[in-house]
Amino acid sequence: MIEVKEWIFERERMVKEQIIARGIKDNRVIEAMKKVPRHLFVDKTYYHQAYNDYPLPIGHDQTISQPYMVAAMTEILELKGNEKVLEIGTGSGYQTAILALLCSKVYSIDRISELTRKARLKVDNLGFKNINLIVGDGSLGWPDYAPYTGILVTAGAPEIPNTLIEQLDENGRLVIPVGNEFSQILNLVKKHKGRIYRKEFFGCTFVPLIGKSGWHK
Ligand code: SAH
């Protein structure tokens, strides 16, 4: 990724006050959050709010997640650097960029083509070479490149889709918010020796995952 110096002071402060202060410990995640220029993933009118402690609108009733949420979900994936990761809900592409700095290849899906188009422009301009974006129903995963070491869903699901568990590699980790359309609990699903383990983390609020294995609209 090319280095972006603009808003660097705000970015460092965001990491110190929102990410480290709240207990994120994975140094690789912390460094990635310091590097990726979050302001470039929102419209110019939001640049001055881009490093604040909340989600922001990205159009089409969707949002770029709160910085802390991005860091926390990424930390739970425990990426070491050589993984293949699937993200469902590209949105702005910000989380995609964070993942791309931490693993070898990211596949990311969104159902809204306009968001995918904009996200592609952004990650291309930043020089990313390990990001693959498509438009489609991510609640069904992306079977073509399965299995994945990590799967991250950035929209709220009514339940954990079996299709996603199937696309998880041995020792793979799936992170997904599960609940109703207004609030969810962040879940981790692990696959180990063919067995499935589930752990619940904290409460969160995501826009709904809309699709065959999500909410029907
Ligand atoms: N990680 C993104 C979050 C965007 S909000 C960011 O921080 O910018 C969630 C996104 O999930 C939206 O862009 C929405 O269009 C997308 N989404 C919802 N249901 C989906 C589905 N079934 N498949 C793919 N994307 C979906």
Query: Whole-angstrom Cα distance, residue 73 to residue 90?
Result: 14
**Ligand 1 geometric centre to CA of 107 (Å):** 13
pLDDT at residue 56, as a whole number: 98
Q: Is 108 a catalytic residue?
A: no
Mean pLDDT, the chain, integer: 97
> Distance, CA 34 to ligand 1 centroid (Å)?
23
Where are any strands of DSSP class E within the chain? 56-59, 62-64, 84-88, 105-110, 131-135, 148-153, 168-179, 184-192, 195-204
| CA gap 98, 168 in Å, rounded | 20
Distance (Å, whole) CA 184 – CA 144: 29
Return the pLDDT at 217. Answer: 80
CA atoms in the 13 A half-sphere facing the CB of 22: 16
What pLDDT was estimated at residue 194?
Answer: 84
Question: Which residue from 139, 164, 209 has its CB within 8 A of the most atoms of ligand 1, so it is best to mutate?
Answer: 209
Mean pLDDT of 152-179: 98
| Nearest alpha carbon to residue 102 among 87, 121, 80, 122 | 80
Alpha-carbon gap, residue 115 to 117, rounded angstroms: 5
Percent of the chain whose pLDDT exceeds 90: 99
Pocket (CB within 6 angstroms of ligand 1): 62-65, 88-89, 91-92, 94-95, 109-112, 115, 137-139, 154-155, 207, 209-211, 214
pLDDT digits (tens, 9 = 90+) for 174-209: 999 999 999 999 999 999 998 999 999 999 999 999
| Contact status, residue 139 vs residue 163, Cβ threshold 8 Å | yes
In the chain, the domains with their CATH numbers are 5-204 (3.40.50.150)
Q: Tell me the residue type at 111.
A: R
Q: Which atom of ligand 1 is nearest to the CA of 65?
A: 7
